[in-house]
Amino acid sequence: MSSSPAFTISGYSTARYATWFFIDELGLLLDAGDGLIAGLMSKAAKIKHIAVSHPDRDHLSGLLHFLKLFGGQGVPTIYYPESSGSFPALAEFSQRFDPDQPGRPDWKPIASGAEVVLGSGLVLRAQANRHVPCESGQTKSVSFSLLRKIRKLKPEHRHLTGPEIGALKKSLGEAAITDEVEHTELIYTADTPIEPASRWGPTKILIHECTFLDAATAESKHQIARHSYLDAVLDIAAELQPQHLILTHFSARYGADEIREAIRAGATKRQLGLPTYAVLPGETVHNILGHVPVYAPA
């Protein structure tokens, strides 16, 4: 089942070169690779939160330029995996490199499971992934989930009328008569090896990295422990059934037509029931979900 998407997502993502995604409605930038300023231009002024998945250069090299143009005191907040020393080093370097910046941005280390409140009931949650090997207990690479949290009336009160609920809320407080319920609006896997679909769980929008079109190429490059490949990503999508699938982070070794054909063949084979979009190598795509999908169910 497809419905109109709640988010305007723009971005660029080519393995090795650069990756960034911007969600207009939230002023949220997911990863901060090179070209984000050139791609967003004045719209970059709307960025309030930057969540960086890991310290590879292709995911953070747009930061310096962004901070020079749009950074201020406490703005933006930059979230990064807590065990990565590259970010404190970059924060310090950025301050020395551009000493006339009008203020210091807010650099915040995040652990796996940490949640960031974005407002309007939306929360961004980090989840450690295996892209960057590290000792257990450390977090050097994360994926992000965007969760909507709402308070729902407990079942035992659902027979009550509006005024009755109002009175109960007044006497007991909202927390006592409601349960917190969360739905996943969006998952951004960032760079990750293939994981079981259950790791991600149901979501409306799935942005999954898809560096390789086939497992054999990935295996021959010993990259399969760090990155994902198309067949396995489509299996995950078939199991999770998001409303929209966005495939990203393709290797530049593939041509656009080759990628589109592989997606169509794989999705058709699985009779995938959801529109599938692709951010192709070298392309900045504005409002990804406003484009004609590469594959749409018949």
Whether 1 and 243 have beta carbons less than 8 Å apart is answered as yes
51-70 residues near Zn ion, rule: CB under 5 A: 58
Q: Which stretch binds Zn ion (CB under 5 A): 1-9, 97-105, 191-199, 213-221?
A: 191-199
Q: Cα angle vertex 134, ends 130, 137, to 5°?
A: 95
Whether 116 and 123 have beta carbons less than 8 Å apart is answered as yes
Nearer to Zn ion, 57 or 149 (CB): 57
Nearer to Zn ion, 77 or 223 (CB): 223
Q: Which stretch binds Zn ion (CB under 5 A): 116-124, 187-195, 217-225, 254-262?
A: 187-195
The closest residue (CB) to Zn ion is 191
Shortest gap between Cβ of 209 and Zn ion (angstroms)?
Answer: 7
Nearer to Zn ion, 20 or 200 (CB): 20
Q: Which stretch binds Zn ion (CB under 5 A): 73-81, 90-98, 147-155, 185-193?
A: 185-193
Q: Does 191 bind Zn ion (CB under 5 A)?
A: yes
Q: How many chain residues bind Zn ion (CB under 5 A)?
A: 2
Shortest gap between Cβ of 127 and Zn ion (angstroms)?
Answer: 17
- Torsion angle of the four alpha carbons 257, 263, 264, 268, in this order, in degrees rounded to the nearest 10: 160
Question: Can you name the residues that pair with 125 across neighbouring β-strands?
Answer: 115, 145
The letter for the amino acid at 272 is L
Quote the CA–CA distance of 125 and 13 in Å, as a whole number: 21
Quote the CA–CA distance of 187 and 195 in Å, as a whole number: 13
Shortest gap between Cβ of 247 and Zn ion (angstroms)?
Answer: 14
Non-local CB neighbours of 29 within 8 Å, separated by 6+ positions? 20, 21, 22, 23, 36, 47, 49, 50, 51, 76
Nearer to Zn ion, 53 or 94 (CB): 53
Shortest gap between Cβ of 176 and Zn ion (angstroms)?
Answer: 46
The letter for the amino acid at 214 is D
Strand duo 9-14 + 18-23: pairing: antiparallel
Helices (H), strands (E): how many in the chain? 9, 13
Q: Which stretch binds Zn ion (CB under 5 A): 50-58, 118-126, 140-148, 231-239?
A: 50-58
Shortest gap between Cβ of 195 and Zn ion (angstroms)?
Answer: 16
Shortest gap between Cβ of 211 and Zn ion (angstroms)?
Answer: 8
71 Ramachandran zone, left/alpha/beta (phi>0; psi -120 to 50): beta
Residues at the contact surface with Zn ion, assessed by CB under 5 A:
58, 191
